[in-house]
Amino acid sequence: MKIVKIALISVAVFAAAHTTAQQAPADIASLYAQAQTDGLSMGGFVAKMTELKTCNPKLAEQVIDYALEQAGNDPVLVEEVLKAVNNQCIDQDTLTTLAIAANIDPTLITNALQTAAAAGPAPAAPAIAATPGGVGAGGGTGTGDTTLASGS
């Protein structure tokens, strides 16, 4: 009797997992449809779904998989998707694996990931420091002229 119960539970778990796997793409598609309604591009959708604050790696992988499937071999769209992924949510190895599984040209994958890595995170705003001789810098002419007597 125990074996029968275990077998039934196993079948139920398998069926539930199989049903969930079949529904996931439809759920991702509806999430993307909503994102389009909100004015997001495919890259914007991927960026939103892999944002660090809300990162769910399993969901992020499904989103990336869906996005790459939609992109097909459109190099511009594939590059947009790959560049949009927050690598703190999904690492580059996993991203590369997902892209290869989606039959994306490996050269395209490499180029997009290198471009994204070279771009790096958005630059921080430069710090504003008082200039010698500038207004509020403790005196001087107030002209803001930063030329030093040494010519440096």
- Per-residue pLDDT reduced to its tens digit, 53-70: 888 999 999 999 999 999
Question: Does the residue 88 lie in any domain?
Answer: yes
Q: Mean pLDDT for the chain? A: 73
Per-residue tokens: 151: 């010519």
Question: Does the residue 75 lie in any domain?
Answer: yes
Quote the domain boundaries for residue 95: 13-119
Average pLDDT over residues 22-42: 82
Q: In this predicted structure, what is the pLDDT of residue 141?
A: 53
pTM greater than 0.75: no
Number of domains present in the structure of the chain: 1
**pLDDT confidence tier of residue 17, bands split at 50, 70 and 90:** very low
Q: In this predicted structure, what is the pLDDT of residue 119?
A: 59
Residue 22 CA to its chain's centroid (Å): 24
Question: Does the residue 138 lie in any domain?
Answer: no
Question: Does the residue 128 lie in any domain?
Answer: no
For 92-139, how does the pLDDT look when each residue is reduced to its tens digit (9 = 90+)?
Answer: 899 999 999 999 888 888 888 887 766 554 443 344 444 445 444 455
> How does DSSP classify residue 128?
P
Question: Does the residue 140 lie in any domain?
Answer: no
Question: Does the residue 148 lie in any domain?
Answer: no
| Contact (Cβ atoms closer than 8 angstroms) between residue 80 and residue 47 | no
* d(C-alpha 120, C-alpha 1), whole Å: 59
For 38-57, how does the pLDDT look when each residue is reduced to its tens digit (9 = 90+)?
Answer: 999 999 999 999 998 888 99
Comparing CA positions, the residue from 92, 132, 123 lying closest to residue 110 is 92
Question: Does the residue 8 lie in any domain?
Answer: no
Question: Does the residue 59 lie in any domain?
Answer: yes
